[in-house]
């Protein structure tokens, strides 16, 4: 049977808007509180090396004030490892990070960076943090995740979300096949990036996928319908697809 699909709400872009004026409004913490009331199962925040949106203080506040599990997105660096070990969020999703990129543009090369990742994954895991790797849905990346013994992979849905109708089916198939392969190997598959009301349902219908992490669209749509409204509609579409 297909289980309930969890929704992790990524609040990075609440911080983007706040930082545009350098003040305190709008507060990511308040967004997280509203998300909790609107049907989110978790909060996701990416503490980037350049602190362009989420800040260290945001992570402190989220950890202190939010009852929902926090999924900390982080680059595989010593600085981020130390921060994760200090806060001990429920989960840490390791993402690739390049300063010049506008957003996380591709998956982590878990296969090519296995030796760098191994000690980071094991220190996070030893601290009781559920480790996830944000990867492209390919057999090589799933195999690397198996070798690193992570409990979770998050498949990058950017190519699916941004491809034309002809290629979208191919991208979807790839994600579905890799979700099945991950689950067969005891790894819980998640997915995220670029998901919207229009494209979420085929991904939500993949039975092995346990969680979607969605940010930019939900925060953008909140301008028109309010944050509770945008999250509730996403939640309803996900449940319907299941
Ligand atoms: N998952 C990961 C690992 C991400 O890096 C991002 C983007 O920050 C998302 C999910 C959410 O993507 P979007 O903001 O496009 O919904």
pLDDT in tens, 48-79: 999 999 999 999 999 999 999 999 999 999 99
Q: What is the pLDDT of residue 100?
A: 62
87 is annotated as an active-site residue? no
- Domains by residue range for the chain, with CATH: 6-241 (3.20.20.70)
Question: Of 13, 46, 53, 156, which residue is the catalytic one?
Answer: 46
Q: What is the pLDDT of residue 214?
A: 98
Q: What is the pLDDT of residue 3?
A: 75
Query: Residue 23: helix, strand or coil by DSSP?
Result: coil
| Dihedrals phi, psi of 150, to nearest 5 degrees | -80, 150
Render pLDDT for 77-102 as a digit per residue (tens, 0 to 9): 999 999 999 999 999 999 997 756 66
154 is annotated as an active-site residue? no
Q: What is the pLDDT of residue 141?
A: 97
Q: 162: Cβ below 6 Å to ligand 1? A: no
Residue 164 CA to ligand 1 center (angstroms) comes to: 20
Q: What is the pLDDT of residue 1?
A: 46
**CB-based contact 166:132 (threshold 8 Å):** no
Low-confidence ranges of the chain (pLDDT < 50): 1
Between the CA atoms of 124, 157, 169 and 208, what dihedral angle is there, to the nearest 10 degrees?
30
Residue 1 CA to ligand 1 center (angstroms) comes to: 27
Q: What is the pLDDT of residue 122?
A: 98
Residue 158 CA to ligand 1 center (angstroms) comes to: 9
25 is annotated as an active-site residue? no
CA gap 46, 116 in Å, rounded: 20
Q: 230: Cβ below 6 Å to ligand 1? A: no
Q: What is the pLDDT of residue 4?
A: 87
């Amino acid at each position: 049977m297909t289980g309930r699909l969890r929704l992790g709400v990524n609040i990075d872009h609440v911080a983007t808007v706040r930082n545009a004026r350098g003040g305190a409004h709008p507060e990511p913490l308040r967004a997280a509180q509203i998300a909790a009331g609107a049907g989110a199962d978790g909060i996701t925040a990416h503490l980037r090396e350049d602190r362009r949106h989420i800040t260290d203080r945001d992570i402190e506040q989220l950890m202190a004030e939010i009852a929902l599990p926090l999924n900390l997105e982080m680059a595989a660096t010593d600085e981020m490892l130390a921060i994760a070990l200090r806060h001990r969020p429920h989960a840490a999703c390791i993402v690739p990070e390049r300063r010049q990129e506008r957003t996380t543009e591709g998956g982590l090369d878990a296969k090519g960076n296995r030796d760098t990742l191994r000690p980071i994954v094991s220190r996070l895991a030893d601290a009781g943090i559920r480790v996830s790797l944000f990867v492209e849905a390919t057999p090589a990346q799933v195999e690397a995740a198996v070798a690193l013994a992570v409990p979770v992979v998050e498949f990058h849905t950017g190519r699916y979300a941004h491809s034309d109708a002809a290629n979208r089916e191919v991208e979807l198939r790839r994600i579905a096949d890799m979700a099945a392969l991950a689950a067969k190997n005891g790894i819980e598959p998640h997915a995220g990036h670029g998901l919207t009301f229009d494209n979420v349902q085929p991904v939500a219908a993949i039975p092995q996928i346990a969680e979607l992490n969605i940010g930019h669209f939900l925060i953008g749509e909140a301008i028109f319908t309010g944050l509770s409204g945008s999250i509730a509609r996403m939640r309803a579409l996900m449940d319907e697809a299941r």
